[in-house]
Structure 1
């Protein structure tokens, strides 16, 4: 059983080297976040230059996520073949190429091509960054370090909004191209910088490189005892004899790592525990976007315009508020996730989202039915938008990625994470490419009432199906999910804190 210190989840010292590895691995998320945030403002200028329709803007916003679906599905097997570190390098290079193409775009078709290229890089990045952080960190700090990619996304979104305001004052042809093309520069630096970081010790053991894994564990652990225990757990999970001291070993044949075997064990012949993991991981990614966050982030200017903000400058400034709130509360979440626990944070977060969406839907409905400008409704709409972003980023946003990166067995983790990201991108694209159409068909208020209903379903999903995973070793997750649904989740915290 754990002692009081372990349950607190934060009194063990955070290893600086492990933290540095997770931070560098998470920098790819800043670039993705930047692309998401900057596009909300760039679309205003793109619409003017290319005279595109709203449906074409929806395609432009959502196509990145459909292409990210391809990238995420490829990333799982790629990271198993070439390693977690080189997969981050590959993601950076692909995204850099996409940014260059978008910055060059002479027409709408080339812009779409660049967006698709960047999307493939995004798919790789979203899958690999949380997995790398989860595998490099200890149990007591895994929630914090695995949340760093989400902090990166939030930083990127805010930088994108700021970029909109800075480059928005340039000429129509130059401004939005600089907004999109400048992301190529940090992509190049990241591709070089990540080569200085170590490979995931769990991936090295999966390749039979036990000696190399031990050298890295000695750096990311605080003492020899912790390093030995983590190596022992990883070797056991990989089917390697604990007493084996060879630096290079042959992985037992029963641990088949072919694509057919891994996807078969994950989807077609899963154990009851793995089936629950798939439902939990995929379900969280589904609900992260079906509750409407992409509509708020990408179409914030449209929402604020509907609420009564008419000046283009004020519309862009209002979106900066979204970025600030997002970054603030994702950062807070990062430092409390290992103390509060995944399940409790999710339930609190989604409940707040339900209330915020109900308020926003009501205010927008009142505005849409009124023939005059209602200042009180405008103010409340802004408050509810910011409160929605606050609740989303305090729980559902970071926990979704932490939870899905930590629950799968070592052999299935990359494929399981890539499956979750694929669903995440499909739902992201669905919301991105249908939001304006839904608003026309259902009104803005009705659309947010719909998202509120999905948030209610999400709360019930978490309450009944998701067990608590705080403080559990990655190698213990099958035991956690063998116990069944989420209502008993609080009982599974009484475990050791080694990893």
Structure 2
């Protein structure tokens, strides 16, 4: 569903000319979908607890399908904005539920790789969007952008059909008291029967069901309509929940404050500022951006459960800072020499756009979704994840709706120097605040943040009388520390 980012980057060039809109309306139509996504993400948490994770995915796909059709058939700017509104709600649903579903379904040993798969498909969608822009660029203006946006209705069909045959989240099933179904799902998604039994016992304990309960169907105490969850998250959070919330919201804030969506949405404009004048050449260069994102997110998927979240996250962020500084420098040099075509500066700008999106996709891009969906306790996961999506979409919308105004006010180079400073702050936040979560079950992570000094590579006492050494091996110290 996030193929919209790639499609809009090129489609908006033709929308501006065909519908005769100014840059302010360009910013609005580009970024407003992310603010509309707030509605979807806010509703998705409650709905996924009500009808289940799987059917929420299907619902998200149907909403985006309708929105994409309306955008593709839009006769004017007003109808286009209606399509953006409906599609935005679908985006909010999808961004919230996809990582939660895959996190809850995955075993700890491969949770990072599997939970990053939605980001893989997002990047694949962005790449397809860029390719469709390039393919339809030669068509008449009134037809090209409508085909670009209308093609976005195709992927949700396959997503909805695929979701019909996917298993439900075992953790959601346990919350409903459907233990027999949960066990069958765990047997299908675990490496052995022993692992499935262990995972089921941990989930039952987290849900408040006795571990020795062997019934296939049990009565679970009725939960509130979410009021208690919001109180625990926002009004009276424990120190551990407060740290989880800061970590989850912080990583989503910095993911979008890095300026990634400015590059994804406005890469043709950036390449124009870098000296590439022909539309087809600029759209061709954006295909290279999509390829860089796709290649690097595949690397991240392979490495997340091998070397962990922190090393990838810190390396990714450092690469983004370096790329942004070089990109800003190149754009500044070109901007100060409008009469000259400085080939080496143009090459630096193109190369650093590719390394920036590549560095993002190798770490911060997928890890934000993986990390924020795995650290919340079971009872808070849906609403907590929806808050992360809300922060993510607000920042993405603000960047998308102000980027053109920002670079007109402070120059294109100055804008990317600003993003470099923000990403530098992000590196410090990640280094000091985000512990390693690789290899830990979701139930272990429910108590992981109760020790504020927990950090990767340090010896610490766990919450249940456990000591973790440098290699992540956990051993009992013989007494509880409750």
Q: TM-score range by the shorter chain?
A: over 0.9
- Contact 1:463–1:486 (8 Å) recurs in 2: no
Q: 2-side partners of 1:210 and 1:344: how far apart?
A: 37
Q: 2:139: which partner in 1?
A: 170
Please report how far the alpha carbon of residue 103 of structure 1 lies from its aligned counterpart in structure 2 after TM superposition. Answer: 0.7
- Once the two structures are superposed, the pairs formed by residues 110-149 of structure 1 within 5 Å of their partners are 110-149=79-118
- Contact 1:84–1:128 (8 Å) recurs in 2: yes
Q: Secondary structure of the equivalent of 1:182?
A: helix
Q: 1-side partners of 2:381 and 2:43: how far apart?
A: 14
Q: 2:225: which partner in 1?
A: 258
Residue 456 in structure 1 maps to residue 424 in structure 2: yes
Please report how far the alpha carbon of residue 128 of structure 1 lies from its aligned counterpart in structure 2 after TM superposition. Answer: 0.5
Q: 1-side partners of 2:97 and 2:145: how far apart?
A: 29
Residue 205 of structure 1 is aligned with which of 150, 171, 174? Answer: 174
Q: 2-side partners of 1:272 and 1:495: how far apart?
A: 26
Q: 1-side partners of 2:193 and 2:320: how far apart?
A: 44
- Once the two structures are superposed, the pairs formed by residues 32-51 of structure 1 within 5 Å of their partners are 32-51=1-20
TM-score (norm 1): 0.91
Extract unaligned runs of 5+ from structure 1: 1-31
Q: 1:105: which partner in 2?
A: 74
Residue 494 in structure 1 maps to residue 472 in structure 2: yes
Q: 1-side partners of 2:365 and 2:134: how far apart?
A: 26
Q: What root-mean-square deviation, in Å, do the aligned CA atoms of Structure 1 and Structure 2 show?
A: 1.4
Q: Secondary structure of the equivalent of 1:299?
A: helix
Q: 1:435: which partner in 2?
A: 403
TM-score (norm 2): 0.94
Q: 2:374: which partner in 1?
A: 406
Please report how far the alpha carbon of residue 489 of structure 1 lies from its aligned counterpart in structure 2 after TM superposition. Answer: 5.8
Q: 2:268: which partner in 1?
A: 301
Q: 1:349: which partner in 2?
A: 316
What are the superposed Cα offsets for residues 385-444 of structure 1, whole Å, 9 maximum, x if unpaired?
111111111111111100001000011011111000000000000100000000000100
Q: 1:21: which partner in 2?
A: none
Q: 1:15: which partner in 2?
A: none
Q: Secondary structure of the equivalent of 2:440?
A: coil
Residue 274 in structure 1 maps to residue 274 in structure 2: no
Please report how far the alpha carbon of residue 495 of structure 1 lies from its aligned counterpart in structure 2 after TM superposition. Answer: 5.0
Residue 60 in structure 1 maps to residue 38 in structure 2: no
Q: 1-side partners of 2:4 and 2:258: how far apart?
A: 21
Q: 1-side partners of 2:6 and 2:424: how far apart?
A: 27
Please report how far the alpha carbon of residue 184 of structure 1 lies from its aligned counterpart in structure 2 after TM superposition. Answer: 1.5
Please report how far the alpha carbon of residue 185 of structure 1 lies from its aligned counterpart in structure 2 after TM superposition. Answer: 2.5
- Once the two structures are superposed, the pairs formed by residues 325-336 of structure 1 within 5 Å of their partners are 325-336=292-303
Residue 376 of structure 1 is aligned with which of 344, 348, 357? Answer: 344
Q: 1-side partners of 2:9 and 2:233: how far apart?
A: 37
What are the superposed Cα offsets for residues 324-351 of structure 1, whole Å, 9 maximum, x if unpaired?
0000000000000111111121111111
Please report how far the alpha carbon of residue 192 of structure 1 lies from its aligned counterpart in structure 2 after TM superposition. Answer: 2.6
- Contact 1:472–1:495 (8 Å) recurs in 2: no
Q: 1:397: which partner in 2?
A: 365
Residue 70 of structure 1 is aligned with which of 18, 39, 47? Answer: 39
Q: 2-side partners of 1:346 and 1:57: how far apart?
A: 33
Residue 422 in structure 1 maps to residue 390 in structure 2: yes
Q: 2-side partners of 1:257 and 1:248: how far apart?
A: 21
What are the superposed Cα offsets for residues 278-327 of structure 1, whole Å, 9 maximum, x if unpaired?
00000000000101101111000111100100011100000001000000
Please report how far the alpha carbon of residue 189 of structure 1 lies from its aligned counterpart in structure 2 after TM superposition. Answer: 3.1
Extract unaligned runs of 5+ from structure 2: 460-467, 476-482
Q: Secondary structure of the equivalent of 1:183?
A: helix
Please report how far the alpha carbon of residue 273 of structure 1 lies from its aligned counterpart in structure 2 after TM superposition. Answer: 0.9
Task: Select the structure that is richer in helix.
Answer: 1
Residue 291 in structure 1 maps to residue 258 in structure 2: yes
Please report how far the alpha carbon of residue 115 of structure 1 lies from its aligned counterpart in structure 2 after TM superposition. Answer: 0.7
Q: 2-side partners of 1:234 and 1:351: how far apart?
A: 37
Please report how far the alpha carbon of residue 134 of structure 1 lies from its aligned counterpart in structure 2 after TM superposition. Answer: 0.6
Please report how far the alpha carbon of residue 487 of structure 1 lies from its aligned counterpart in structure 2 after TM superposition. Answer: 4.1
Q: Secondary structure of the equivalent of 2:411?
A: helix
Residue 444 of structure 1 is aligned with which of 391, 399, 412? Answer: 412
Residue 319 in structure 1 maps to residue 297 in structure 2: no
| Residues 207-216 or 141-150, more deviating | 207-216
Count of aligned residue pairs for this structure pair: 464
User: Structure 1 residues 66 and 163, CA, compared in 2 at 3 Å: closer, same or farther?
Assistant: same
Q: 1:9: which partner in 2?
A: none
Please report how far the alpha carbon of residue 270 of structure 1 lies from its aligned counterpart in structure 2 after TM superposition. Answer: 1.2
What are the superposed Cα offsets for residues 198-248 of structure 1, whole Å, 9 maximum, x if unpaired?
110000000111111011111111221011000000000000011111111
- Contact 1:465–1:486 (8 Å) recurs in 2: no
Q: Secondary structure of the equivalent of 2:432?
A: helix
Q: 1:215: which partner in 2?
A: 184
- Contact 1:99–1:182 (8 Å) recurs in 2: yes
Q: 2-side partners of 1:486 and 1:221: how far apart?
A: 28
Q: 1:5: which partner in 2?
A: none
Q: 2-side partners of 1:390 and 1:100: how far apart?
A: 31
Q: 2:464: which partner in 1?
A: none
Q: Secondary structure of the equivalent of 2:116?
A: helix
Q: 1-side partners of 2:375 and 2:284: how far apart?
A: 39
Q: 2-side partners of 1:444 and 1:126: how far apart?
A: 30
Q: 2-side partners of 1:214 and 1:470: how far apart?
A: 24
- Contact 1:139–1:473 (8 Å) recurs in 2: yes
Residue 367 of structure 1 is aligned with which of 334, 346, 351? Answer: 334
Q: 2:479: which partner in 1?
A: none
Q: 2-side partners of 1:289 and 1:85: how far apart?
A: 27
